Every structure is written in C-alpha cells, then in structure tokens.
Amino acid sequence: LAGCGAGGFSQESPGADAFLDRVQTNCGKYSVGNQPIGWLLSDSSNDTTFVDATTKLFSGQFSRSDYQDFLASFYPAGTSQATLDCIYKQL
C-alpha cells in the first residue's frame, strides 16, 4: 500500500504500511461515505485521499477529531462511529 497521497504526503514508513494493512484487514467491511474501506485501500482504487488522511492519523498529524472532520467533509455521505472506532482500534 505504499505511495503518495494527496497533498504530496509520502506514506513509506513500515509502521504506516502495517497500520494501513491492519485497517484493511480488520475494518475493510466498513464504509467511509459510500466506499468500503477494503476498496479504498485496494490497488484498484485511485482514491489517495483516504490513504493520506489515515496515514496522517497514524503519524499524529491529524487528531481523531481532525480526522473525523476531514472524512465528513471529503466523504459527505457520512462515516459511522463503528467505522471510526474500528480504525482507532488499529492505532
């Protein structure tokens, strides 16, 4: 899952890769907006925004509140608390 996210943030650390792998494995069935996390983190997706934001959450560049607000603004269909709780449990 390595690559560059939106805004030029390069997600290349082994810790970030492992975190994204955990999110995909444990939270893939949940959705952000209308998109399943498993798809957002797949090689088929061209949505780098979710990867970038989730990596920033992992690295401490986003607080949980900032992360939730960002997802709500970028994925207006909403994100359930269960989705967020699952992602936070992977930290």
Model pLDDT, residue 12: 63
For the segment 18-76, what is each residue's pLDDT rounded down to a tens digit?
999 999 999 999 999 999 999 999 999 988 999 999 999 999 999 999 999 999 999 98
In the predicted model, what is the mean pLDDT of residues 67-89? 93
Strand extents, DSSP E, the chain: 3-4, 10-11, 31-32, 35-36
Residue carrying structure tokens 């082994």: 14
Token pair for 43:
């090689």
Model pLDDT, residue 70: 95
Model pLDDT, residue 5: 45
Bridge-based pairing of strands 31-32 and 35-36 is antiparallel
Q: Is the pTM of this model over 0.85?
A: no
pLDDT at residue 3 is higher than 50: no
